[in-house]
């Protein structure tokens, strides 16, 4: 696991050094709109803790952080109208490392919706 780089853009957002369009904030989790939206709904769900990737978070975060993260996804998908309770669904994507084409090395889950999302993975 690469060491967590404190200078990444999401760490700076969490420190309040860079503005963001927050949709939801909980004790351990922040949800904000992606700066380059690829769908009518495109938000990023991030833990406030310093985790590089999903596997880092899943292995090392506390149970409270893990539950809070997933409950935040449940809440925000409902609030944005894309949850299956009242909506047409969404896609959750997380990229990890070079093969996953992860740009920002702070774990984040993309939530995309508001239109049919097409094929899951383009042929390489
Ligand atoms: P990934 O490839 O999974 O690491 O995606 C990183 C996403 O982060 C990408 O969709 C664009 C978004 N992003 C990068 N910089 C910023 C920023 O400064 N603010 C916000 N809101 N999103 C950003």
pLDDT for residue 121 is more than 90: no
* Joined tokens for residue 88: 């047409």
Residues 3-51 have pLDDT tens digits of 999 999 999 999 999 999 999 999 999 999 999 999 999 999 999 999 9
Does the active-site annotation cover 108? yes
Q: Which of the listed residues 35, 39, 57 should we mutate to test ligand 1's pocket, taking the one with most ligand atoms within 8 A of CB?
A: 35
Cα separation, 51 vs 59, in Å, equals 10
Residues 35-47 have pLDDT tens digits of 999 999 999 999 9
Question: What's residue 124's pLDDT?
Answer: 65
CA 10 to centroid of ligand 1, rounded, Å: 8
The residues spanned by each domain of the chain are: 9-113
Q: Which helix (H) or strand (E) holds 79?
A: helix 63-79
16 phi-psi bin (left φ>0, alpha ψ -120 to 50, beta other): left
Residues 78-113 have pLDDT tens digits of 999 999 999 999 999 999 999 999 999 999 999 999
- Quote the Cα angle for 12-15-97, to 5°: 40
E-strand ranges in 4-123 read: 22-25, 29-33, 41-47, 90-93, 109-113
Q: Which CATH architecture has domain 9-113?
A: 2-Layer Sandwich (3.30)
Q: Which of 76, 81, 66, 63 is nearest to 110 (CA)?
A: 76
């Amino acid at each position: 696991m690469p060491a967590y780089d404190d200078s990444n853009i999401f760490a700076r957002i969490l420190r309040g050094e860079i503005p963001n369009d927050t949709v939801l904030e909980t004790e351990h989790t922040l949800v904000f709109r992606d700066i380059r939206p690829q769908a009518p709904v495109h938000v990023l769900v991030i833990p406030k803790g310093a985790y590089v990737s999903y596997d880092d978070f899943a292995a090392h975060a506390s149970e409270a952080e893990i539950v809070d993260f997933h409950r935040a996804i449940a809440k925000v998908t409902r609030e944005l109208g894309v949850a299956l309770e009242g909506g047409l669904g969404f896609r959750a994507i997380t990229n990890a490392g070079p093969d996953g084409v992860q740009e920002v090395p702070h774990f984040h889950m993309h939530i995309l919706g508001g239109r049919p999302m097409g094929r899951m993975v383009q042929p390489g």
